[in-house]
């Protein structure tokens, strides 16, 4: 018998549809992966900071930062974000989307503070790379060799007040050989204009002045008629209105006044004795006593200011002598002693301001007139900026912060009155 077998080896094959489908899917995946590899974005390459260099000290308050250009491997445009702050790893963007590799600071940095800065380079797809972080320390207080004005247009005086209002420096009242009620202003500390030579409030010294509700205010003091407890205000320094002729707090001078919690405050001073009462008002007319006896000793010739959302009282003169204690309060009633004895000498008739986010104490009388300058970030720990400022030792002067500078105006030294004007920065 002849047996025959048939084989399809020699004939056309039938494709396996399942195998063909698997091959197509694999190829598609491979093609997609290849495309993704082709379009994958790369971050800019590493770069270095140039200036201000790491560890630099005595850096100007308006530094210029610079860095290398970062090269992008995909030829994307690169921009830069500058980070600057007091934390060791700064998270605050100080300037962003910079195209240049150089940035000049126009907002003053704080003296004595240590800052940290870095730059992040980013491309148009927001792929980014960070530089290293540099630590820098800003210079101390810049002490001028000459005053802004040796002899201002107003007479030599002490016991006056100074404020900043309407973008101007103001000097109000005081005493030369006589009590004064003139009002002066200046836009530069050198050229002064008399708003009025005789305001309607009586001539006086050792009063207080503040800016509240877009107005200038004058509170209390002493003059030919004795101690005062009247309250006056003005919108222009020329025309004045009496808010109240006899406030419920006793007539006094060498007290302090501040604006805190959207209220006017009057603290301590001298009546017929030392005072440590605290008063407040929302309108300058109606007054409420926060406490008739704060825990700090009754005193006058102290200073008061607002710092870290607190009321502060520094130094002064009480029945036991001159003081260098420092107190603070969040409500004007309850007070905490930051230090019973600051490292600066006990003193009165000094000035205090907030400048560069710090408390400052300037000059005064500690048994003799002095011209040292001290600063603190917490009211407890104090640093001496200078033992002898370029202005002569003095007391009963005024100090304000204006145009990013700390100003010292007038006062008296050893027997003479002053009308010089100094600006420290």
| Section 208-226 average pLDDT | 97
Closest CA relative to residue 350, chosen from 326, 330, 373, 384: 373
CATH code for the part of the protein at 161-424: 2.120.10.80
Q: Is 49-138's fold the same as 161-424's? A: no
- Tens-digit pLDDT profile for residues 329-386: 999 999 999 999 999 999 999 999 999 999 999 999 999 999 999 999 999 999 999 9
30 pLDDT above the threshold of 80: no
Q: For residue 105, which of 114, 90, 95, 113 has the smallest C-alpha distance?
A: 95
Res. 123 pLDDT band, cuts 50 70 90: very high
0.75 surpassed by pTM: yes
Q: Which residues contact 370 (CB under 8 A, 6 or more apart)?
A: 345, 347, 363, 364, 393, 395
Q: Where are the domains of the chain?
A: 49-138, 161-424
Domain 49-138 is found in CATH 2.60.40.10: yes
8 Å CB contact between 354 and 360: yes
How far is 165 from 185, CA to CA, in rounded Å?
Answer: 9
C-alpha distances in Å from residue 48, one per residue of 80, 103, 262, 309? 13, 15, 48, 40
Q: How confident is the model at residue 4 (pLDDT cuts 50, 70, 90)?
A: very low
Where are the alpha helices (H) located in 226-368, listed in sequence order? Answer: none
| pLDDT tens sequence across 34-65 | 655 556 899 999 999 999 999 999 999 999 99
Whole-number pLDDT of residue 21 = 52
């Amino acid at each position: 018998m002849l047996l025959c077998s048939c084989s399809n080896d020699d004939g056309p094959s039938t494709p396996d549809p399942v195998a063909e489908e698997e091959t197509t899917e694999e190829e598609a995946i491979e093609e997609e992966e290849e495309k993704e590899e082709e379009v994958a974005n790369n971050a800019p390459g590493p770069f270095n900071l140039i200036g201000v260099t790491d560890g630099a000290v005595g850096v100007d308050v308006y530094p210029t930062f610079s860095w290398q250009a970062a090269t992008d491997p995909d030829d994307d445009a690169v921009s830069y974000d500058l980070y600057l702050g007091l934390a060791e790893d700064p998270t605050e963007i100080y300037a962003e989307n910079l195209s240049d590799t150089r940035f000049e600071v126009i907002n003053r940095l704080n003296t004595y503070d240590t800052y940290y800065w870095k730059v992040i380079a980013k491309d148009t797809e927001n792929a980014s790379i960070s530089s290293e972080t540099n630590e820098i320390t800003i210079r101390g207080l810049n002490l001028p060799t000459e005053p802004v004005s040796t002899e201002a247009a107003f007479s030599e005086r002490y016991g006056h007040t100074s404020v900043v209002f309407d973008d101007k420096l103001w000097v109000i009242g005081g005493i030369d050989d006589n009590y004064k009620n003139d009002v002066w202003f200046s836009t530069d500390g050198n050229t002064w204009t008399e708003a009025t030579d005789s305001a309607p409030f009586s001539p006086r010294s050792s009063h207080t002045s503040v800016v509240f509700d877009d107005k200038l205010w004058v509170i209390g003091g002493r003059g030919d008629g004795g101690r005062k407890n009247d309250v006056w205000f003005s919108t222009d320094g020329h025309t004045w209105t009496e808010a109240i002729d006899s406030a419920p707090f006793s007539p006094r001078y060498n007290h302090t006044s501040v604006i805190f919690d959207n209220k006017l405050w009057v603290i301590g001073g001298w009546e017929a004795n030392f005072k440590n009462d605290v008063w407040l008002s929302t309108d300058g007319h109606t007054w409420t006593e926060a406490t008739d006896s704060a825990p700090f000793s009754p005193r006058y010739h102290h200073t008061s200011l607002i710092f870290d959302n607190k009321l502060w009282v520094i130094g002064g003169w009480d029945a036991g002598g001159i003081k260098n204690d420092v107190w603070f309060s969040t409500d004007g009633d309850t007070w905490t002693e930051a230090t019973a004895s600051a490292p600066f000498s006990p003193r009165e008739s000094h000035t205090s301001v907030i400048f560069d986010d710090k408390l400052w104490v300037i000059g005064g009388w500690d048994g003799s007139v002095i011209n040292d300058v001290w600063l603190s970030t917490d009211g407890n720990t104090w640093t001496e900026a200078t033992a002898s400022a370029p202005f002569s030792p003095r007391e009963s002067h005024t100090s304000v912060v204006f145009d990013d500078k700390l100003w010292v105006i007038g006062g008296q030294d050893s027997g003479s009155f002053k009308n010089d004007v100094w600006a420290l920065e």
